[in-house]
Amino acid sequence: MSRPNAQSMKPATAAKKLDVYLLATPPEFQENAITRSELAALAADPPQWLKDLRKNGPHPKNLVAAKLGVSIAGLARGGVTEALTTEQINALLEEKPEWLIAERESYQTVLREERRLKAQREDQAREG
């Protein structure tokens, strides 16, 4: 594989930008550098494989965590170490295992605290 230049990126970076799980992409995507224009074309007019991946998965951990309403660390604590499909995510949302309920509550607490601290910093900046 040729070394990506400034106008291209590694497949892992392109997959991350497209919000797809790299190992689920076609071999030609995984094995070649992606140019910025190719990435823009994929985003603007996604081929069927990209549409299917976005709809059905498997999804990367950041999307799994977002769909479940937990942090990536919360996924790990819950024993989720692999990419999940949309069907698996929906099953977890229906089953509501104890770890998921606890991690969702914990994550919401963290987000509330982050918002509180941000507002406090903004108030201090206005006053100061």
The pLDDT-based confidence of 96 (bands split at 50, 70, 90) is very high
Q: What is the pTM of this model?
A: 0.79
Q: Does residue 58 have a cis peptide bond before it, meaning omega lies within 30 degrees of 0?
A: yes
Over residues 77-92, the mean pLDDT reads 95
Report the alpha-carbon distance of residue 88 to residue 97 in Å, rounded. 13
Strand partners of residue 35: 8
- Rounded to whole angstroms, the Cα distance separating 109 from 36 reads 38
More confident residue, 111 or 2: 111
H or E, element range at 5: none
